[in-house]
Chains A and B, each alone.
Chain A
Amino acid sequence: DAKTTQPNSMESNEEEPVHLPCNHSTISGTDYIHWYRQLPSQGPEYVIHGLTSNVNNRMASLAIAEDRKSSTLILHRATLRDAAVYYCEPSGGSNYKLTFGKGTLLTVNP
C-alpha cells in the first residue's frame, strides 16, 4: 500500500482558511486520493477524493500536485465544527480496501 506523511497536528483560527498537506510519494497511477475526517466520538466521515484534477465540493477543495506525490485539503473558512482528525489515504487499482494512517489533528480556535 502507498504510504502517506501528514503533520501530526495543525492549528487554525475560526473563519480562516486551512491548508492540510499530505505527501504520498509512492502512490500508484490508478490510486485515488481520499480524505476523511473523524470528529470526536464519531466514525470517520468522507470529505473528498480525486485522481488528478483539483476537486471541489460543499465541504472542501482538494488540490493535487501535478506529479500526484502530494495533495492539499483546503477548508476555505474553518469553523469550530471542523476540529477533527483528517486522514489522507491513497487507494485504488486492484486494492479495494482503505487503510488509515495517523492523520492530522486540526484544532480550530475561536
Chain B
Amino acid sequence: DAGVIQSPRHEVTEMGQEVTLRCKPISGHDYLFWYRQTMMRGLELLIYFNNNVPIDDSGMPEDRFSAKMPNASFSTLKIQPSEPRDSAVYFCASSLYGSSYNSPLHFGNGTRLTVT
C-alpha cells in the first residue's frame, strides 16, 4: 500500500487566496483525520471523519476553514481566505477503526503551507 498520500507537499500563496489541501487515505480505512502543526501550538487535531461523515470539527479554527470527504478515497481541507497565521504543516491521517479500537493512525508526509 502506498500509505496516506497528501498533495501538494509545499504550497506558497498570498494572503487572501484560497488554498486547497488534498488527502488520499489508505484504502479500507474508515477514519480520516486532519491535523495542523506549528512550533507554537504543536500538533493540533482540526477535524475527523468516520465513513466520510464529519464527526468532530471542534478543532477547526474558524469559518475560513472547511473540510470535505466526498468519498472514501479523497478528502480536502480548504482555507478561504488564507492568512499568514495559517502558515503551518498540515497532516492527514487515516485509521481502520479510530484510535479507540486497537487501530493505529497512519500519517501522510504533510503539506507545508506558507501564506505571505
Contacts and interface: CB of A to CB of B under 8 A. Distances in A.
B91 A46 contact: no
Interface residues of B, dominant DSSP: strand
Nearest to B98: A96
Given A34-B99, A97-B33, A42 B109 contact: yes
A99 B93 CA distance: 12
Interface residues of B, number: 27
Given A97-B33, A97-B56, A98-B33, A44 B102 contact: no
Given A43-B91, A101-B42, A102-B42, A96 B55 contact: yes
B12 interface: no
Interface residues of A, number: 25
Interface string A66-88: 00000000000000000000010
A45 interface: yes
Interface residues of A, dominant DSSP: loop
A107 interface: no
A43 B102 contact: no
A100 B43 contact: yes
A70 B109 CA distance: 30
Interface in B33-75: 33, 35, 42-45, 48, 50, 55-56
A20 B45 CA distance: 24
B99 A32 contact: yes
Interface of A: 30, 32, 34, 36, 38, 42-46, 49, 87, 91-103
